[in-house]
Amino acid sequence: MSNTTKWVVDPAHSEILFKVKHLMITNVKGEFRKFNVEVETDGNDFSNARVRTVIDAASIFTNEDNRDNHLKSADFFDIENHKELVFESTTMKGEGDEFEMKGMLTIRGVKKEVKVVVDFGGLMTDPYGNHKAGFSIEAKINRKDWGLNWNAALEAGGVLVGEEVKIMAEIQLVKQ
């Protein structure tokens, strides 16, 4: 890349959320409240962007202290031994506003490829002269692929926690 442009996340205008089935009947939502996203592009062209996202595992929030503490425990994220979740892109394909990004997601020391759908919202200059880019991001993963195997069988059949995790993010980047 001859004209490398660096972008960083604007945390005040970004979020990383997830949903997982509970009791096999409803989705429960959570979020990670502390994360960093760094992107390198060729100018303002995101079609072959390189993305690195680091999430603070201890920043998980589901609005329920007992559940949050369980998710931080060795049953799930094991934050004592694995403080971060890391995503590093390997490919970005697409044109216009729709991209498919692939990359390696590391959770609990396990690194697996994931596919991410990226919707480019556009470029804008804020009232303070900062150049911004916006994205809506979606992915689905199976938590068991990263060793997040804990579950409880239900008396009526099925399990307490679903395996599929839906990840949604709204990311606003600031050009450096």
Q: Which domain holds residue 55?
A: 4-175
pLDDT at 81 over 70: yes
What pLDDT does residue 1 have?
A: 47
SS (H, E, C) the chain: CCCEEEEEECHHHCEEEEEEEECCCEEEEEEECCEEEEEEEECCEEEEEEEEEEEEHHHEECCCHHHHHHHHCCCCCCCCCCCEEEEEEEEEEEECCEEEEEEEEEECCEEEEEEEEEEEEEEEECCCCCEEEEEEEEEEEEHHHHCCCCCCECCCCCECEEEEEEEEEEEEEEEC
pLDDT at 113 over 80: yes
pLDDT at 154 over 60: no
Tally the domains of the chain: 1
What pLDDT does residue 48 have?
A: 87
CATH code for the domain of 83? 2.40.128.110
**Entry pTM:** 0.89
